Chain A
Amino acid sequence: MDALLTKPNETLTTEPKKKISGSEALLRCLVAEGVDTLFGYPGGAIMPVYDALHSYHDQLKHYLVRHEQGAIHAAQGYARVSGKTGVAVTTSGPGAANLITGLADALIDSTPVVCITGQVAEHLLGTDAFQEMDVINTTLPVTKWNVQISKASDIPTQVAKAFYIARSGRPGPVVIDITKNAQFEMMEEFAYEPCRHIRTYAPKPLLDHTQLEKAADLINQAERPYILCGQGVLLSNASQELIALSEKANIPVAATLLGLSAIPVQHPNYVGYLGMHGNYGPNVLTNECDVLIAIGMRFDDRVTGNVSTYARQAKVIHIEIDKAEINKIIKADVGIHADAKEALQALLPLIRKNEHDSWFRKFHEAARSEHEKVIQFDFHPLSDTLRMGEVIRELSELTKGEAIVVTDVGQHQMVTSRYFPFKTARTHVTSGGAGTMGFALPAAVGAKIAQPEKQVVAIIGDGGFQMTVQELGTIMQYNIPVKMLILNNNFLGMVRQWQQLFFEKRYSFTELQNPNFSALADAYSIPAKKIAARPELRNALKDMLEHTGPYLLDVQVEKEENVFPMVPTGAGVGEILLEAPKSNVL
């Protein structure tokens, strides 16, 4: 699964005997791993590392964020668009604790990040020393692996192991907690060898050809086959193989939230986006397919709805690198424990050419219904106020679908996922499984640093923007030309939508009195504009995109817009609603 990733320096790095500190050894390990970018925040227990970093600024570019949560989200954004492992550095105690949300996010969304946390000196462990926290046990449930280092001589082997674990198999976050004495301790000699094997860890499963043949038989005999594409396709760089399979046997492809961009939205076999606010056809027809081919996805509850009514009629083929995901939610008739790219490459020659025209027609009919009931009103609203859909549509036209789009969590995220025409792999970054509000702004910072030549647009709601708004300081300090598009409805929109539909419109603490975001941006010397009228939209977006530096555009949108279609909580995908039940219509 690490085909795209930068391989660590293959040569064994040994040097003549010269004493170096544990801190310097750490930095040399990072350089040997191909790391050139760090996101971090200094503090007492990590000061030796920051002191060593002062002499490494030509090899390791460090971005000082404004909060440790910003550091890990930036590292995530960096990792997601580059395919490399993102690195965050923090101090002990609260510094490490502020990583927790990002670790949980990276774990569920399979993002390779290595977080280095300072720790109090070994003799102070367990003494309730200043800024001491049990980082290992606190981060244990939200990391793929973590390790505490208390001797400088352990740094090279453990750092090598950390990077290997973070990027291999199903990628994930790793924490390296280094006691202050280990950072100070002088080492006799430095040698770094990349990790290639761990006795108890097998990240790359061997292909089971019997299972592949069973899968091929099912696909070849299917009348209504249906591919669900998850992030595993992106992580294993298998977009080409996915498209080849879909084209060879003419199989419709739908994407999960994190699978978006694995296949171009304009591809004729792409039928839409799955999930609670996904497209109508891709959801409802899950319950009509005869063979469901799930690739690199984990049947999240936002995708399946009520599992007891999910695809009961279908034979399920599940290709997944994480064995624990197979049969976890949906029982697979054929489970293929494999890297998506390897499995698809081996499967393709076994698949016969085929046509499924009448099956495709069902998706097209469903798309027409969705257009008539939902999309046309999102794109051409009858009201004077702007709707999120038309903003995303204009942005799509102006960027030609070629920007890297980073979304936060909520209504704007769902609307973007539905309407932005993603063209190439790794151009979509969002917080999926964890649903972390505040993710987008720092993640966009990381994405822009990873791909400086690409246009990076962070699309954020007014609620989420204020959760990590302090990162405007990072954007200002390093002049990071991120475009910030706030879809501002003065509400926590998705929660309000649920309150309207399922809690009899009791708007309990969802209305926001917001600051003047343009004035706030101005305080950080970031140009900004606020608009509310339709005639201003296109030019305002153009100004934002054409501006050379960072830019904030605050778009006032309809206050009580609802996102449809919607699979209500507890309902099955077949019960997806195209509009609010009559009793709930305003």
Chain B
Amino acid sequence: MKQDFTIEVAADNNFSILNRIINVLNRRRVRIKRLVAHEDENDFRRGGATMLLHTTPEMIEKVKHQLEKLIEVESAVCYEGSSVYTEISLKNSKQVA
């Protein structure tokens, strides 16, 4: 049964990192409902992306491992539902502001 998940990815902020992350999702046809990507305000060499995804619990588990397998990805943390997405994306948009 598909449901909403929030996935928070921390990574090195290299060229193409966002493409690499999106590629993992596209290849498995995982629906991205919302996405926010950012550079760390204290260290431009690091950054991350937070995504609201709509998929099955089995698929989110596989996607998490595939994301963690990317060389530049430090961690991929998964939460059920969309509330964490709202919280994290608000925090990041405040940082940018």
Contact = CB atoms under 8 A, between A and B. Distances in A.
B65 A140 contact: no
A201 B62 contact: no
A209 interface: no
B65 A324 contact: yes
A378 interface: no
Interface string A175-212: 00000000000000000000000111100000000000
A145 B16 CA distance: 11
A323 B65 contact: yes
Contacts of A137: 16, 19
Nearest to A325: B65
B23 A201 contact: no
Contact of B11 (A200, A322, A328): A200
Contacts of A327: 61-62
Interface string B33-45: 0000000000000
Interface residues on B, range: 10 to 19
A200 B23 contact: no
Given A136-B16, A140-B16, A141-B23, A198 B61 contact: no
B92 to A, nearest CB: 20
A324 B66 contact: yes
Contacts of A200: 11-12, 71-74
Contacts, number: 39
A85 to B, nearest CB: 16
Contacts of A136: 15-16
Given A136-B15, A148-B15, A201 B27 contact: no
B16 A141 contact: no
A324 B19 contact: no
Contacts of B16: 136-137, 140, 146
Tell me if A's interface is mostly helix, strand, loop or mixed.
mixed
Given A200-B12, A200-B73, A201-B71, A140 B66 contact: no
Contact of A141 (B11, B27, B62, B72): B27
A154 B74 CA distance: 22
A140 B15 CA distance: 12
Interface in A130-183: 136-137, 140-141, 144-148, 165
Interface residues of A, number: 19
A322 B62 CA distance: 12
B37 to A, nearest CB: 16
A322 B69 contact: yes
A144 B73 CA distance: 13
Contacts of B73: 200
Given A136-B15, A137-B19, A140-B16, A323 B27 contact: no
Contacts of B23: 140-141
A170 B13 CA distance: 24
Contacts of B68: 323-324
A456 B14 CA distance: 42
A147 B71 CA distance: 11
Interface string A286-327: 000000000000000000000000000000000000111001
B71 A144 contact: yes
Interface in A316-370: 322-324, 327-328
Nearest to A322: B69
A200 to B, nearest CB: 4
Contacts of A328: 62, 65
B15 A324 contact: no
A408 to B, nearest CB: 27
Contacts of A144: 71
A322 B72 CA distance: 16
A147 B17 CA distance: 11
B80 to A, nearest CB: 19
Contact of B69 (A141, A199, A324): A324
Given A140-B23, A200-B72, A323-B68, 6 more contacts: A137-B16, A146-B16, A165-B71, A198-B71, A324-B66, A324-B68
21 contacts: A136-B15, A136-B16, A140-B16, A140-B23, A141-B23, A146-B16, A147-B14, A148-B15, A165-B71, A198-B71, A199-B74, A200-B12, A200-B73, A201-B71, A323-B65, A323-B68, A323-B69, A324-B65, A324-B66, A327-B61, A328-B65
Interface of A: 136-137, 140-141, 144-148, 165, 198-201, 322-324, 327-328
10 nearest CB pairs, A to B: A324-B65, A200-B74, A145-B71, A324-B69, A201-B71, A324-B66, A136-B16, A200-B72, A323-B65, A141-B23
